[in-house]
Structure 1
Amino acid sequence: YISLSQRSEQLTLSVGLNGWGSLGAGYFDVRAADESRTRLLNLTWSKPLWRNTSFYLSANREIGNSDWAMQAQLIIPFDWRGTLSVSGERSKIGESRQRVNYSRAVPSEGGVGFNLGYAHDDGPDYRQADLTWRMQSVQVQAGVYGSSNAETRWADASGSLVWMDRQVFVANRIDDAFVVVSTGGYADIPVRYENQRVGQTDKNGHLLVPWSSAYYRGKYEIDPLNLPTNVQSTNVEQRVSVRRGSGYLLEFPLNRIIAASVVLVDAQQYELPLGSRVRHEQSGAYAVVGWDGLVYLENLEEHNSLQVTLADGRTCQAQFTLDMKQQQVPLIGPLLCH
């Protein structure tokens, strides 16, 4: 079993020195279950240098012992997402070690990241190298570390399978929670999570968001610009929180409307006047003629009849047939109103 400390006390202080960086100090006093006591003093100084480069210096001493352990570290990030770190250490017994490390983080949207390290001290030199390749459905890692006398090689592959809304999704490892966005069967609809584009729906109108934060009301959005012109969305943004270790099917209701733009003309082939009132006989809905005799109508049927009332009180009728399987809003006309 693990024995917990009887008592633990700590005191920390940090002071900003403006252009000279920041200075920190800490005192730690721990009394273990076996009555042993450890008291440590820690001093740190850090300073930003040019651009994003920074320097870090620390010193540690166990109170009651006159020896100090020290570490100095220089961190240089590169514009192409890489970071170089150079450090030197000296232990309280006088041993020294120098380290150099270069790493590049894996992009959140997927790609390749790596880590290279080398350390030199009084013993055999230590080396390490690892590579991570994150794809949409799996993350593969491999690496090697150790000295010339004892070297260890390793490899790892991780991913997830999700079954939701009668579909199987393959994704990277899900550590927290996930959300499946559904657009009712409409494909290639861009999806954003917390204002960041995370992909677009597949041929079944689904997109798995595998890195949702549990218990947080995250914002999910769809971009309706890729929808057919005769499809409307009453809601393009929703917020939802998901319990840790579970998932949620987030549905965006999309409605296909049967609509058309109709150009109405009179017997002389002149466009009907602006402001003429149009009644769709089948639905009872009203619309108004706009510029160039154009009127937009919704909730249409295969066979449609219109009754138009002009500004002077005269009326005329028009009929047209509509293809109910169209994916866009058609332009019909010029259509004679007689």
Structure 2
Amino acid sequence: MPFRFGSVGGSFSTRSYRTSRGLEIASLNATIKVSRFATLNLVGSKTWGAVADTALQLLVIVPLGRRTSATAGVRTHGDGQSATATLQRNLPVGTGVGYRLAGEVGEVNRLDGEVALQTGFGTYTVEGSATDQGGGVRVSASGSIGMIDGSVFAARQLTQSFAAVRVGAFPDVGVYADNQLVGHTGRNGLMIVPNLRMFDDNPIRIETDDLPMTAQLATDKQSVRPPRRAGVHVDFAVADNRDAMLTVVLADGSPLPKGLRVVTGGGEKTISAPGGEIYLASLRAKNTVTVQLEKALCSFVVTLPAGGAPQPRLGPFTCVLKPA
């Protein structure tokens, strides 16, 4: 039952057995917000019948951030008492580190610790525990290897629906699901987004600031509805078009006249400028450029240099007449 300061709840249950006495269990719990920075949780229970016991637990929970919290409490039942304390930081939705440190004194003296690293390819955990009777350490790793649309990928453990997000061939592009950063694309431009809701709209977007200025895309947001425990492909078609200033001459070495119509193999159209200069804004790695002369056509091939230098000046290119 909710109240302005928190909530209160209770229950009563009975258990019957054929060969032994039954049990009656009553419990009461209350959650009280004592300040903006702390919450008090009180749980009490009473058992009658085959087992007679009274237990009481008091916990103070203090949030220390979006993913971090601290808990301290005491517990008593029968003839035993104990005190506990926990510091915990949950793993993020995307890549990052989480940890948990917990201690208990009283009936059992115990110290537990756990550190987890989550990457785009898996989750790796180291756990340790020490008690009065001894201790131990456990190391574990989990992940997945799969195939979608003929492409093999490595990802975190996939127990629910997922999406294979491709952003051209651009690496290190942030990918968000439900507006939370999940991770960044790998060297091949691929990112696996796990834990999607099946048969429901899942908004996925990419971080356009991570793309080069020369990249062109139709949209940075898509929504998918994957089937149960299956993958879907999400393709953000990104073209890495670059601009350049070209210097062009005719076969006799004279500058290309101004005012001529110019068309690239990609469909971009423009007009030649004085001095044989042509500005093109959407060049690919390799381009065929055709010029409409007075009575004929000529063409030349532009291969962009490696690197992303803005608006390089290239040439001179010789515009060769096309056969009639």
Q: TM-score, normalised by structure 2?
A: 0.69
The answer as to whether partners of 1:89 and 1:98 remain within 8 angstroms in 2 is yes
Change (3 A) 1:141 1:318: same
The equivalent of 2:56 in structure 1 is 70
**One of 184, 209, 218 as aligned partner of 2:193:** 209
Aligned partners of 1:53, 1:299: CA distance in 2, in Å? 59
Maintained 8 Å contact 1:178/1:210: yes
TM-superposed CA distance for 1:278, in Å, is 8.1
The code of the aligned residue for 2:100 comes to N
| SS at 1:302 equivalent | strand
Alignment of 1:239-258 (within 5 A): 239-255=223-239
Partner in structure 2 of residue 53 of structure 1: 38
With over 3 angstroms needed to count, the CA separation of the structure-2 counterparts of 1:188 and 1:113, relative to structure 1, is closer
CA contact (8 A) 2:241 2:281 kept: no
- Separation in 1, partners of 2:174, 2:95: 18
Tell me whether 1:323 sits opposite 2:323 in the alignment: no
Per-residue CA deviations over 1:260-304 (Å, capped at 9, x if unaligned) read 6789xxxxxxxx9xxxx9855789987799xxx998777997343
* 8 A contact 2:95–2:183 mirrored in 1: no
1:205-233 Cα offsets, whole Å, 9 max, x none, are: 3222234333332122234552563x532
1:95 maps onto 2:74 in alignment = no
Are residues 234 and 107 of structure 1, via their aligned partners in 2, closer, same or farther at CA, if it must alter by over 3 Å? closer
User: Is 1:112 equivalent to 2:91 in the alignment?
Assistant: no
- What residue is the counterpart of 1:136 in the other structure? 120
Identity of matched residues, %: 19
What's the CA shift for 1:114? 2.5
- The range that moved more, 72-81 or 33-42, is 33-42
Equivalent AA in structure 1 for residue 143 of structure 2: G
Query: Hey, what's the Cα distance between the residues in 2 that align with 1:214 and 1:325?
Result: 44
Matched, 1:233 2:233: no
Verify the 8 A CA contact 1:25 1:41 in the aligned structure 2.
no
State whether residues 27 and 39 of structure 1, in contact with CA within 8 Å, keep that contact through their aligned partners in structure 2.
no
Q: Is the 8 A contact 2:163 2:233 kept in 1?
A: yes
- Number of positions where the alignment pairs a residue of Structure 1 with one of Structure 2: 297
Runs of 5+ consecutive residues of structure 2 not aligned to the other structure? 248-257, 316-324
- Stretch of structure 1 that moved more, 252-261 or 187-196: 252-261
**RMSD over equivalenced CA pairs, Å:** 4.6
Separation in 1, partners of 2:64, 2:177: 28
2: distance between equivalents of 1:85 and 1:258?
Answer: 55
Residue 288 and residue 164 in structure 1: after superposition, are their counterparts in 2 closer, same or farther (change >3 A)? same
**What amino acid is the match of 1:191?**
V
Deviation at 1:100, TM superposition (A): 1.9
> Contact 1:224 / 1:233 at 8 angstroms: preserved in 2?
no
